[in-house]
A = this chain, B = another copy of it.
């Protein structure tokens, strides 16, 4: 089978068959035109599910709750809010998360244990439960509701992040994500939900999701900070039929590729919409000694404040790129390193080439900046995504709660 994985124009998390979503404005966030802050996602039939949660020792109440409920294997819906992270809220926050799930369950005709909870926003404040109780009634889940869900998850995001891919006419994968700040591996998203109508074995679904996260959301860094609320989730309802896909199925690889394509799309969308970002930065490490080192070097370069500020100023300061790779822990011989920016090779064997720096500076001024570092040592490669650092980032984060 030739893999034929295509983006679906205008696609979202409800593009795969059998999923409904919806959202409302409950009043958790300050109102401005078109703001939504409470959403639901539900599978019409019991789905298989897999998830990756934050590795931060400080975990928000909804994370603890969702981790427990995922283990039951019976979850079928997610309720999500923005504007308040329900993190650092103690026992009371746990009760609020449980009540939020119960409210969603009642509305959807499920048992409370079948509903996962996700929250994003300010840390250390209680959820306004009165508003959530009242708001829940206003949500009308539908097969077109993915776009609303995507907007209900936004905090400092400048726009919704959505994707859907069709895989060789076999099945569809859809997703929504929110990002913007406090974003760093592991894992590099605050919230990302995926759905698929593929018929897929539960164990392979979990394995596939972890692998896809490793080359996509875990390769994004906006500011080096990780959140207590990070959650990546996939629901697979099997509506596309056929034999269950497993690691040895002919369609196993197709599923993996399609999932990675969807996740990389969302990862790039999150990186490019980093708080205050004016450019998406893509850093590729080539010929590292190990995969681990390639990934680590790519993430270190894309996370470097000095690289981020240089890109912001369209400054081809390759010394900062080399210095960041050098401190990553990846084996490196500075005398062997080649560096290209926007396809123009400006460093060979660790020394500057006589290139037109104005051309390089120009390639740093576009919406997407590509930096390639060839270590010329081994065979491992990796790509990471980030964004430039602007004065706007400082402004956003200096004035977030006050």
Listed in ascending order, the chain A residues whose CB lies under 8 Å from chain B are 55-59, 85, 87-90, 122-124, 181-182, 184, 223-228, 303-306, 309-310, 312-315, 317-320, 322-327, 330-335, 347, 349-352, 361, 389-391, 393-402
When C-beta atoms are compared, the residue in chain B nearest to A87 turns out to be: B319
Inter-chain contact A123/B317, CB cutoff 8 Å: yes
30 contacts between A and B (CB under 8 A): A56-B326, A58-B325, A58-B327, A59-B334, A87-B323, A88-B318, A88-B322, A88-B347, A90-B350, A90-B351, A122-B319, A123-B323, A124-B319, A124-B352, A181-B306, A182-B306, A224-B224, A225-B304, A225-B305, A226-B327, A228-B322, A228-B323, A305-B393, A309-B393, A309-B397, A310-B398, A310-B400, A312-B394, A313-B400, A315-B400
Q: With A181-B306, A309-B394 in contact, do A323 and B90 touch (Cβ < 8 Å)?
A: no
Chain B residues near A390 (CB, 8 Å)? 394
A188 to chain B, nearest CB (A): 12
In whole angstroms, what is the CA distance A27 to B320 when docked? Answer: 24
**A282 vs B331: C-alpha distance when bound (angstroms):** 33
Tally of this chain's copies: 2
Contact of A397 among B85, B310, B396 (CB under 8 A): B310
Q: Which of B322, B394, B400 contacts A123 (CB 8 A)?
A: B322
Known: A88-B334, A393-B309. A226 touches B323 (CB 8 A): yes
| Chain B nearest Cβ from A342, distance in angstroms | 16
Verify B401–A326 contact, CB threshold 8 A.
no
Given contacts A327-B57, A327-B225, contact A394 B398 (CB under 8 A): no
Identify which of B303, B306, B391 contacts A391 (C-beta below 8 A).
B391
A389: which B residues are within 8 A, CB to CB? 394
Q: Which B residue sits closest to A182, measured CB to CB?
A: B306
Complex CA–CA separation, A94 to B56 (angstroms): 44
Q: Is the CB of A305 within 8 A of B223?
A: yes
A52 to B125, CA, bound (A): 45
Known pairs A306-B181, A326-B57; A315 contacts B352 (CB<8 A): no
Q: How many angstroms between the C-alpha atoms of A331 and B56 in the bound complex?
A: 11
Contact B324 A401 (CB under 8 A): no
Minimum Cβ distance to chain B for residue A164 (Å): 32
Among residues of B, the one whose C-beta sits closest to the C-beta of A126 is B352
- CB pair B306–A397 under 8 Å, yes or no, is yes
B350 touches A88 (CB 8 A): yes
Q: Is the CB of A90 within 8 A of B394?
A: no
Does the CB pair B398–A313 fall under 8 Å? yes
Given contacts A225-B306, A306-B182, A310-B398, contact A90 B335 (CB under 8 A): yes
CB of A126, distance to nearest CB on chain B (Å) = 9
Q: A330 — which chain B residues lie within 8 A by C-beta?
A: 57
Say yes or no: A224 contacts B304, CB within 8 Å.
yes
Which B residue's beta carbon lies closest to that of A307? Answer: B225
Q: With CB as the reference atom, state the residue of chain B lying closest to A330.
A: B57
> In the complex, what distance in Å separates the CA atom of A305 from the CA atom of B333?
30
* A350 proximity list for chain B (CB < 8 A): 88, 90
User: Is the beta-carbon distance between A327 and B88 smaller than 8 angstroms?
Assistant: no
Check if B349 sits within 8 Å of A90, measured CB to CB: yes
Let me know if A317 and B394 touch, CB within 8 A. no
Contact call B391/A85, Cβ cutoff below 8 A: no
Q: How far is the CA of A402 from the CA of B364 in the complex (A)?
A: 13
Q: How far is the CA of A36 from the CA of B332 in the complex (A)?
A: 35
Which residue of B is nearest A319, CB measured? Answer: B123
CA distance A333 to B57 in the complex (A): 7
Contact B395 A391 (CB under 8 A): yes
CB nearest to A186 among chain B residues: B327
| 19 new A-B contacts at CB < 8 Å, known A58-B326, A87-B323 | A56-B326, A56-B327, A57-B327, A57-B332, A58-B322, A58-B323, A59-B334, A88-B352, A122-B319, A123-B320, A124-B318, A225-B320, A228-B323, A309-B393, A315-B400, A361-B402, A389-B394, A390-B394, A393-B394
